[in-house]
A and B are shown apart, each in its own frame.
Chain A
């Protein structure tokens, strides 16, 4: 059994992250999940009437803003603005996930947990940030506290790990980074219908 990075510690980390990202930094973005099933494609697998997205989800994020450039090519002058959005992975899990469940405070206060987007970032998704749109080029979810991802306790068929038990309660997969490039809004099927 591992010794450090247990569930109580992770609960503390999660809370600090949410306080930091939600109450102190409070940087919000709108995430548009690419909807594969409703997007029509041609024989080459390319979308034909524009891409369809699921309903937007507002998320707290840490945004690493890159510098803007205007590369010149044979097609003319382009515009490039790379951004990296970093999300707390627990915020993207289901509301039913343990990470988004609270415990009653003693016997007289019930928890009030509001997180849980049920969202899996993938290439092609679009993120709205400060009235601009960024398309996800790549995702990176390899930040493990104590080097352990609790999703992999390495149990055998009987649910046992002969060397270490309870590994699912240790370690932390902290966040997901979405590395994006700027996309002009006219290329997307997204209309800002409400302020």
Chain B
């Protein structure tokens, strides 16, 4: 094989680009061709190749690279700049981006923060508190059997065709409210008290059975408190507990005075409770994300438009291109630890180039990330707040004059 050409001192991106895209002559100017059609990229490609070659020692020394090596580094540097930029943008705005259509033009759009994701993230708390959320609370009705204290809720759920179990949120098993005992249950017109314990009778605390006299509210409250105290002292306490899907109710149903027409027990009483289906809770974690931004990988950022990158960004790209070129040159010179020369061998500076390039790349990435972080929304608001505080402190230095009107 004849000698492989190396950097001759100049390049023509336009010519190589034309030969590849118009005449299909290998090689392409850049590996991916992301920016090959950008006129400013074309112009800067030659300049940055020359810049890198000069920084690497040309023309004093040979630079064993070709123009396409420099351009590959240039393309990579531009792409990495875009990656860092848009990764930062994604981090800064992801709460507002998640769930948005993947068709949005995030490269050029101005993203305004919204509460959409915050509200969605908070739904779980509302669901747990029973004041909203994304899991339905359902009502359950368990028939109470006279004399039976323990009931298997898992069996009930299975009988109801519920798969995956239930989670009890509320159990409505409590003593009748005092208000139901305030009026006499014996009113023949059926407009008396709500019944319940104690046994029906002319109970009516102070309001009679057929007619009553409107009393001051303080009097009514006293009566209700008296009823509650009476029930607490003289009657069974309504309570329950749930252990391993078994709910035990206190007092045992059927020990009260609910009777049917024949004087027997009233079988039409039920234990009512709120529950959620556990599967509903699991399912609530997922929503259809088709054509929507569902993770950081499908935020529709695309490579940047080189001509729109400002001088700050371009300077970074040039420096990063140089680091990549240095790395490539180091790898070329470092493939063999020593190069044979007549009667001996020499060691080139590949090691130094590679390590130096790695250090420079890391420093450049760190510098770029710090720069972006300093322009994050949070950082800018903090800076603005600090400026405001400083401004007030500055104004306070102005001597206060005494106004004489």
A residues apposed to B, CB below 8 Å: 7-17, 19-21, 23, 61-62, 64, 84, 86-89, 98-109, 111, 113, 143, 145, 169, 172, 174-177
Q: Is the CB of A62 within 8 A of B2?
A: no
Q: Is the CB of A62 within 8 A of B343?
A: yes
- B49 to chain A minimum Cβ distance, whole angstroms, is 12
Q: Is the CB of B341 within 8 A of A172?
A: no
Q: Does B8 contact A (CB under 8 A)?
A: yes
Q: Is the CB of B343 within 8 A of A84?
A: yes
- Cβ-closest chain A residue relative to B5: A105
> How far does the alpha carbon of A106 sit from the alpha carbon of B170 in the complex, in Å?
80
Q: Is the CB of A103 within 8 A of B340?
A: no
| B15-30 with Cβ < 8 A to chain A | 15-16, 19, 25, 27
Q: Does B308 contact A (CB under 8 A)?
A: no
Q: Which residues of A contact B68 (CB under 8 A)?
A: 106
Question: How many inter-chain contacts with C-beta < 8 Å in the A-B complex?
Answer: 110
> How far does the alpha carbon of A60 sit from the alpha carbon of B27 in the complex, in Å?
35
Q: Which residues of A contact B61 (CB under 8 A)?
A: 19, 23
Q: Is the CB of B342 within 8 A of A176?
A: yes
Q: Is the CB of B4 within 8 A of A11?
A: yes
Query: What are 21 A-B contacts with C-beta separation under 8 Å?
Result: A11-B4, A12-B4, A12-B335, A15-B6, A16-B346, A17-B342, A20-B346, A62-B342, A62-B344, A64-B343, A86-B342, A86-B343, A88-B341, A104-B5, A105-B8, A105-B67, A106-B12, A106-B15, A106-B67, A107-B25, A169-B1
Q: Specify which of B3, B11, B25, B341 is in contact with A103 (CB 8 Å cutoff).
A: B3
Q: Is the CB of B342 within 8 A of A102?
A: no
Q: Is the CB of A107 within 8 A of B15?
A: yes
Q: Does B184 contact A (CB under 8 A)?
A: no
Q: Which residues of B contact A10 (CB under 8 A)?
A: 1
Q: Which residues of B contact A100 (CB under 8 A)?
A: 3
Q: Which residues of A contact B8 (CB under 8 A)?
A: 105, 109
- Cβ-closest chain B residue relative to A64: B343
Q: Is the CB of B15 within 8 A of A13?
A: no
With A19-B61, A99-B3, A106-B12 given, can you name 4 additional A-B contacts, CB distance below 8 Å? A23-B62, A84-B343, A169-B1, A176-B342
Q: Which residues of B contact A177 (CB under 8 A)?
A: 342-343
Q: Specify which of A102, A109, A175 is in contact with B343 (CB 8 Å cutoff).
A: A175
Q: Does B284 contact A (CB under 8 A)?
A: no
- B15 to chain A minimum Cβ distance, whole angstroms, is 5
> How far does the alpha carbon of A95 sit from the alpha carbon of B13 in the complex, in Å?
31
Q: Which residues of A contact B25 (CB under 8 A)?
A: 107
Q: Is the CB of A145 within 8 A of B340?
A: yes
- A172 to chain B minimum Cβ distance, whole angstroms, is 7
With A15-B62, A21-B341, A143-B342 already in contact, the answer to whether A98 and B12 are too (CB < 8 A) is no
> How far does the alpha carbon of A155 sit from the alpha carbon of B335 in the complex, in Å?
29
> How far does the alpha carbon of A101 sit from the alpha carbon of B25 in the complex, in Å?
22
- A143 to chain B minimum Cβ distance, whole angstroms, is 7
Q: Is the CB of A108 within 8 A of B3?
A: no
With A7-B1, A102-B5, A169-B1 already in contact, the answer to whether A12 and B343 are too (CB < 8 A) is no
- Cβ-closest chain B residue relative to A60: B342
With A98-B2, A102-B2, A102-B5 already in contact, the answer to whether A9 and B346 are too (CB < 8 A) is no
